[in-house]
Structures are given as structure tokens and as C-alpha cells.
Homo-oligomer: A and B are copies of this chain.
Amino acid sequence: MKLVTNPDKSTWSELLKRPTQTIEDIEATVKTVFNDIKINGDNAVEKYTSKFDGVTLLNNSVTEEEIAEAASKVDENLKTAIQLAKANIETFHSAQKTDRVEVETMSGVACWQEKRPIKKVGLYIPGGTAPLFSTVLMLAVPAQIAGCKEIVLCSPPNKEGKIANEILYAAQLCGVTKIIKVGGIQAIAALTFGTETIPQVYKIFGPGNQFVTVAKQLATQFGVAIDMPAGPSELLVMADDSANAAYVASDLLSQAEHGADSQVILVTTSKDFADNVSEEVETQLETLPRKDMAEISISNSKTIVVNDFDTALELIDTYGPEHFIVATENDDFFVENIGNAGSVFIGNYTPESAGDYASGTNHTLPTNGFSKAYSGVNLDSFQKSMTFQKISKEGIQNIGNAIELMAEAEGLQAHKNAVTLRLNDLINE
């Protein structure tokens, strides 16, 4: 890890810079696939699945038999673990339900706000070497609590034309209504336009590689919402001498193993502590199966030593980490004052992996500094708030004149007329 001590504020922006990604060459490919699927539907989907996933499917919908078979093959202990995680995620996201907000702003002017589910949502779960079934829980559980009617899950098939057992088990456990073997750009395009077998949805959730990320961005131009823009995963740990160097090292490594582009930062007020963590990282790294990847990520990562907590807080807020672990003698200071972070992990016994899997919070979080403006996925991500107003005869008499004056001042005579007509009738009543 690169060690930086007391960096001058003028260097922060450079120091905290994330690697930029070039997407322009990807964009052309994504546009081509979108256009093809828009016109040719399932035929085009089949073609790209064959090309990119190396498998030709007669039927891309997962059948009930396949799900039952997959479920029977998942280890029973793992099933119990998945059920525990699901229960915690359910508890936390159910607690996020809000009542209808109702106010009479003036006598006779009733206004209310209600949340209603997004009817059709698409969940994208990447394939690859490891099956990310935890993301199924993180997306399908709140979708079901919100009351989404259609929950469509897309995940790429492997060479045998299958989706991992754990993903199918988790999907069925969490009320996914349709599972489709399709991945990459073609999955996002199919969810955007709909095909003969794949339903069009209103919002697409889930992680993915650069192709999926660019495809999700393009989907927004066709009227489909997305959870958030994605970037490589990040962890920032704030720790002092009161923390445990071995634990901190294990947390940094658990972030680093995600990929060579993972962002890992340690901020500390203690140079000694930084040295201890560095040694621990070297030791723990040796035994990791994903050592090669983690090593690259760690070599790009930074340890920043600062003089005091105030400076640390300002630095962390400037960065806006996706995951923020704080283990210091005064965690409350950071918890109360942090303005920009996706999810915060407090104290020595709260590793990031707890939130990744089972504490109950969501692991789909804003990366790339987006925590400055974006929420992580939560119950509200699967609903939209709608407003209602009902004005009585008395009500329109109370606010009518104000509307008339404002509409006229904005040069919108018909807006004024709509009120004047009603007020005149009431005067004559």
C-alpha cells in the first residue's frame, strides 16, 4: 500500500482520484446489440447468447423443474445461511415502509403522498466463476416487500446452458416471478424493449461488467430507469491505535479480492498502526486463493496518515466511499458527522462482509463518489412516490386568488382561467 502522510489539501483531489474508465469503444457495441434486439427480439437474443456465452438455448426461460432440481442440490447448511440472511434483509427493509403522508395545507386543500410499487422490475445477476446469489437476496427481497408485480431475473447461462443452483434457489425463495437465461448487453436490451419471451420492465437493477454498465446507461435513453450508475467496488477504513490491525487488514483484503480495479483506502491517525496493518496484509495475502487479483488491488491502494479526526472526516467526505468502516476510540464522531458514504460499518466486530451478506442492510451501494447524491438500494428503490390533492369549494376559494396572481405573472392565462371559471361559479352559487 502506498503511504501518504499529512497530504496538503490541495493534493486531495489528485490523491483520491478513482481510475477513469473509457467507455467509448464499448458504446458502439452496446448500441448495435440494442438496435438488433429492438428489431429482431428473441432471434437476436439467441444469436448473442450463442456468440458471447458459447451456448445455444432452445428455451431461455427457467422451468419449475429446473428450479426444483437446483434447490435439491444446494447444501443444507448453505440453505440455512441463505434463509438467515434473507430474514435479516427482510426485517430491515420491511421497517423502511412509510405511511401515507397527509396534510391539509389550508382549509379545504388536502394533499397527500403515497408510495406505490414499480410494477415491473428486472434484476440482473452476473455469471462468471462464482455465483452471486447474495445479490439475488439484496434485490428480490425489497422488490417483493414493495409489491412489484413482475420480478424478472436475468443471468447468463454457463456453457452447459445452466444458471448456478444457488441463484435459482435464492430466486425462488425470494419470489422472483420469472427467471431467464440471458446475460450481458443482450439481457439489458431485452428487458428494455421486451421480446417474445422476455418481458419489458420499468426499472433495471443489479451489478455487472463494463458492458452491462454501459447497457444500463443506454437503457435510460429508452425510458427505463436504473438503480444507479455502477463502478468498481470501494472500501475506506478509518482506524486508530484502538483498532485491531489484523481485522483491518482482513477487511481491506476482502475488498481487494473483488478485482484488480477495487479501491482500498486506509485513513489513520497513527503511523505505527498503518505499519502494523501493512505487515498483516502481507501475511494474510499469502493464503488467499484470489491472491493475484488482491495483490494488484492492494498495490494500487493507499494509506493516508492524518493528524486528527477533523481532517480525517473532511478527507473521507471528499472521497464519499461506498463502504466505510470506522474503528476508532470515538466512532460516534464519524457516525454523526459523515455526510457522504454508502454504508457505514462501526467498531471492531463489524466487517464489511457482514453487510455484504447477512446483517440486513443492502449491499447494492453507490460507488465512484456517487454517495454524495445517491442512496444505496433500499425499499424506496422499488416504489415511487405519487402525490394527490383534493380541493373543496372552500379550498379553491382559499388559494384561488394566489394561483390567479402567480399564473398571470408567469404569463399563463389559461392556468389562471381554470381557477377564475370555478371561482366565478362559486360567487354566483
Chain A residues engaging chain B, CB cutoff 8 angstroms: 75, 77-78, 80-82, 84-85, 87-88, 91-92, 95-96, 98, 101-103, 105-106, 109, 111, 113, 116-119, 129-134, 166, 202-203, 217, 220-221, 223-225, 229, 246-247, 250-251, 253-254, 256-258, 284, 288-290, 294, 335, 338-362, 366, 368-376, 378, 380, 384-393, 395-396, 399, 401-403, 405-407, 409-419, 421-422
Can you spell out 26 A-B residue pairs with CB atoms less than 8 angstroms apart?
A81-B402, A88-B109, A88-B399, A103-B360, A105-B359, A118-B373, A119-B372, A129-B411, A132-B410, A223-B368, A250-B418, A257-B412, A335-B388, A342-B386, A343-B386, A344-B387, A344-B388, A350-B391, A351-B396, A352-B418, A356-B407, A357-B415, A359-B399, A360-B389, A375-B385, A376-B386
Which residue on B lies nearest to A80, using beta carbons? Answer: B402
A264 CB, min distance to chain B CBs, angstroms: 11
Does more than half of chain A's interface fall in helix, strand or loop, or is it mixed? mixed
Contacts of A250 in B (CB 8 A): 414, 417-418, 421
Contacts of A403 in B (CB 8 A): 81, 353-354, 356-358
Residue contact B392 to A387, C-beta cutoff 8 Å: no
Residue contact B84 to A402, C-beta cutoff 8 Å: yes
A169 CB, min distance to chain B CBs, angstroms: 11
Residue contact B254 to A412, C-beta cutoff 8 Å: yes
Contacts of A109 in B (CB 8 A): 88, 354, 359-360
Given contacts A406-B85, A418-B254, contact A354 B391 (CB under 8 A): yes
Partner of A419, one of B340, B344, B354: B354
Partner of A406, one of B81, B92, B393, B410: B81
Partner of A166, one of B353, B376, B409: B409
Residue contact A78 to B405, C-beta cutoff 8 Å: yes
Residue contact A360 to B85, C-beta cutoff 8 Å: no
Contacts of A355 in B (CB 8 A): 387, 389
Tell me which of A102, A355, A393 has the highest count of chain B C-beta atoms within 10 A of its own C-beta: A355
Given contacts A250-B418, A376-B387, contact A290 B342 (CB under 8 A): no
Q: In the complex, A366 Cα to B116 Cα: how many Å?
A: 14
Assembly stoichiometry (copies): 2
Partner of A418, one of B88, B353, B392: B353
Contacts of A421 in B (CB 8 A): 246-247, 250
A337 CB, min distance to chain B CBs, angstroms: 10
Partner of A396, one of B117, B221, B354: B354
Residue contact B416 to A353, C-beta cutoff 8 Å: yes
Residue contact A357 to B88, C-beta cutoff 8 Å: no
Residue contact B409 to A257, C-beta cutoff 8 Å: no
Residue contact A361 to B84, C-beta cutoff 8 Å: no
Given contacts A95-B101, A246-B421, contact A349 B395 (CB under 8 A): yes
Partner of A347, one of B225, B342, B390: B390
Extra contacts besides A250-B417, A348-B422, A376-B387 (17): CB < 8 Å? A84-B106, A84-B402, A87-B105, A92-B101, A105-B360, A129-B411, A133-B409, A202-B372, A220-B229, A247-B422, A343-B386, A345-B389, A352-B418, A355-B387, A357-B402, A358-B402, A371-B386
Partner of A417, one of B129, B284, B395: B284
Contacts of A411 in B (CB 8 A): 129-130, 289-290
